[in-house]
Structure formats: C-alpha cells, structure tokens
Structure 1
Amino acid sequence: MNKTNPEKAIKELTIMLMYLTRFNEGDRFGSNFDMAWKGYDFDIINELDEEDYIRQGSHRSKSVAITEEGIKLAKELLHKYNVLDWK
C-alpha cells in the first residue's frame, strides 16, 4: 500500500472531519448546504475553498459550507480510509 504524504493526509482528513461533524442551518448561503466549524488549519481551509469543496463566505465566519463536490470527496475518502459514514 502506498503511503500518503503528510500534507495530502491533512487535507483529506480535514474534509473528512468537516463532513463527519457537519450540521445544517437551512438556507444560509442561498442553498441548503451542510455546514462545519472552521477550527482547522487556515491554509488547508483556504485550499479547500479555492478547490470549491467548501465555501467560507466571510473570512470572519466561524463555519464553512460544504459543497456537493466536498461531500462527494469526503465520501470517497471515508471509503479510502475505511471509515463508516453516519447512518
């Protein structure tokens, strides 16, 4: 099995944790996005935002919206790391 480099692992684990700890506030960003708290490395959060896996809205906000692509990626990573999803 190939090893994942630390930078990639941090990014993958961050989106997975955002997905697993998500909550829903209804129509906050013009659509019904699942949300996650922003308590992760800011450089990683910025990268995930630039790649459209999350949306930060205001940089002062304490939460982010997880996009459909972010949810899709998180589910793929759950499978990769052999982690069960919520039922």
Structure 2
Amino acid sequence: MDYDRDRVDEITLALLWLTSFKDPVGVRAWKGQDWDTMERLHAKGFISDPKSKAKSVVLSEEGERRSRELFDKHFGLGRLHGNSG
C-alpha cells in the first residue's frame, strides 16, 4: 500500500501524546503503534529506540514538544473553533 509516510508519522507522534505519562526517566508513551512508523520516529530523534523489551518509549524533549503540539493541532478542541493553526 502506498501512503504519505510523513503524515502517518505526524499523526502517530500526536497519538503518542495521548498515551504519554511521566516517570523518573522522563515522558514515556506506550509503543503499540506500527513498527515501521516507530522506527522512523526514532530515526527523526523524537523517541528512544523502540526495539527494546520495554512496553513504552521515551520521548525526547523535541518529541515531547512536537507530540503535544501535533495532538492539539489535530485533536484539540480549539481547532473546531478556528483557534488553532
């Protein structure tokens, strides 16, 4: 199947914010997403290596910021009222 991988990466990163939580290491998110997409997000520096025994990945500082922004952009209530980019 052919698809826009950059857009899928963007939506996946946004959804990682939905499943994120803080722990002593930093902000983590459950890694139950498409493996190829998770690998691309790792290569872009947004998350830790998903190839581990952990059930979650650590978001980098940039990954946490972008994840929050993208979640708000695509799913935030402000977008319904024209208040978001």
Provide the aligned length of Structure 1 versus Structure 2.
Answer: 76
Query: TM-score with structure 1 length normalisation?
Result: 0.70
Give deviations 1:27-69, integer Å, cap 9, x for gaps. 3xxxxx1101110011111111111101136522211001111
Sequence identity percentage: 32
Q: Which has more helix, going by share of residues?
A: 2
How far apart are the structure 1 equivalents of 2:50 and 2:6? 24
**Matched residue type, 1:70:** G
**1:17-56 paired onto structure 2 within 5 Å:** 17-27=15-25, 33-56=26-49
**How far apart in 1 are the matches of 2:67 and 2:51?**
23
When normalised by structure 2's length, the TM-score is 0.72
Compare relative contact order (CA 8 Å, sep 6+) and give the higher one, 1 or 2.
2
RMSD of aligned C-alpha atoms? 2.3
Structure 1: 5+ residue stretches without partners: 28-32
Match of 1:30 in 2: none
Unaligned runs of 5+ in 2: 78-85
